[in-house]
Structure 1
């Protein structure tokens, strides 16, 4: 697919009354969602975990919010129209970790829930997102699911150090293809859903990149852009689990990511959609554009942290 214009289509001001609450407002997807909504003139309430990073000064109202702290729920949801729901990776049991807060949002009168889910969640009951989707379908609150394919940002987050320090990409995906997507495109799709709840209620969108790549091809793009060879290691699940644990990944995340990479290895992660173009009016960013933009993340000289931060979800 040809590379399109890089600017987003102008997002019209929303048609609903009340603030739009963005959970995970400083994260990989939440932060650009806040920026997109503010740029569209929306009333944005950026929900951030107490003691965590703050949102940059600006028009968005910052409110403390913790999925497991009931005292933060009422102030965050009071008078809100919509909530962008982002599951923190460490919360692996959504039934107890998140559903009570979502029930509180419903009781507070929230009229639209937009969930950051993942590609294929509708057919994978094991992933936590499936539990959230099932609850929302039966909640009586209009919902929209954003089911992105695997984030390009995982290359600057979870896999950054191995690429930077070892010139190796350790992924148990075999030769399966993955429709990698830039989180900035996912954020634009989510913002579009939040800004027009009438149009998007009851719909599921699956933003993907413009091409499905094997990780051999991903390593080749990294090699070409970074000017050094990046090797793709093809570990089995046991070797991957040992590597991930040695890198500090919690067991719960090891299990989730192993399942996601297994989907890719089985050839089920390569499906492409035109959802980014349909909702933004432009082509999705490709991996070459992403790697060129984020090159500093893998710099062996400065050892700088990637601007995207760590994420494995999706």
Structure 2
């Protein structure tokens, strides 16, 4: 990409970002707060936002931001133009709607646009989504399918890499696992798209359905080692979580969440990636091959 092309893209981004049809003086002056900036989605949203010419203000505990400490909100939000919101536990957690009162704080200090990460088919998330919609912001909710990167990052990775087996409550239900890079690209499009995505709830997924067992089989082929999947009931998986030290109230929430989300309601493909980005979503096989090449599943 030439410097002229990069400058042109930044100007186009600034024009869209202003929401007025008038270019901002410089796209680099548009500041986006990214919560969970070191996490699975936040780190990728931050990278995609920087690539789009935006200035990223990372919001994490390491930088003094805490979802549960309201006194930390205004300092990170003041002077920003937009924010990406991802609740630290789950968008449907009992404390999530109250935490998203952060949106009202954001509007009060002049943040114009908010994008919330939510989950497809998660009824428990609806109160949180409503809290955002009632904040007075120009808001977008991105409802995501299960992440492909759940197999390459976090606790599921540890089981696969160290034990060669994934034990989970997914049963034989099919899901269209989405690459988190696509989620991040959609989020940044919503952050920079003026009023085009205001008040909308795009649903994003991968291009095809896989069971958890089929997904692990594809990971096994890409990784070049035998990896297995063992399905257990949600309640049995909750007992495993309790054995790992997860607090009882969180275990109870997760058991109910998995029982509902994995009942087949999400066994369909969504076209949000194509609607927003004008291209097909990345395939699970591409994710698996890329992660395997990086040595993700080597013991």
Q: Aligned residue for 1:111?
A: 112
Corresponding residue of 2:281: 284
Asked which structure has the greater RCO (Cα within 8 Å, sep 6+), the reply is 1
Structure 1 spans left out of the alignment, 5+ residues: 1-9, 53-62, 301-314
Give the aligned partner of residue 135 of structure 1.
Answer: 131
Q: TM-score, normalised by structure 1?
A: 0.79
1:220 aligns with 217
Gaps spanning 5+ residues in structure 2: where?
A: 1-8, 19-23, 25-29
After the TM superposition, list the runs of 4 or more consecutive aligned residues in structure 1 that deviate by more than 4 angstroms. none
- How far off is 1:276 after superposition? 1.3
1:3-82 aligned at under 5 Å gives the runs 12-14=12-14, 15-16=17-18, 18-49=30-61, 52=62, 64-82=64-82
Partner of residue 185, structure 1: 182
Residues 249-290 of structure 1 deviation map (CA, whole Å, 9 limit, x = unaligned): 444443444344323542112221222123223321222211
Q: Give 1:198 deviation, angstroms.
A: 1.0
Q: For residue 269 of structure 1, give the secondary structure of its aligned residue in structure 2.
A: coil
Kept in 2: contact 1:68–1:101 (CA 8 A): no
Structure-to-structure mapping, 1:221-260, within 5 angstroms: 221-260=218-257
Residues 249, 227 of structure 1: CA spacing in aligned structure 2 closer, same or farther, 3 A cutoff?
farther
Range with bigger deviation, 103-112 or 15-24? 15-24
Query: 2 CA distance for matches of 1:165 and 1:99?
Result: 37
Q: Greater helix share, 1 or 2?
A: 2
- Shift in CA distance, 193/169, structure 1 to aligned 2, threshold 3 Å: same
Instruction: Report the equivalent of 1:175.
Output: 172
Note closer, same or farther for the CA distance 1:160–1:146 as it changes in structure 2 (3 Å cut).
same
1:143-179, CA deviations, whole angstroms, 9 ceiling, x for partnerless residues?
1000110111211222112212222111212211111
- CA distance in 2 between partners of 1:192 and 1:234 (Å): 37
1:198 aligns with 2:210: no
Match of 2:96 in 1: 94
- Pairs aligned (count): 273
Q: Supply the RMSD in Å over aligned alpha carbons.
A: 2.2
Measure, in 1, the Cα distance between the counterparts of 2:97 and 2:271: 32
User: Does residue 261 of structure 1 match 2:258?
Assistant: yes
For residues 76-124 of structure 1, what are the alpha-carbon distances to aligned partners after superposition, in whole Å with 9 as ceiling and x for unaligned?
111222111110017751244x134332212212222110111123xx1
TM-score, normalised relative to structure 2 = 0.83
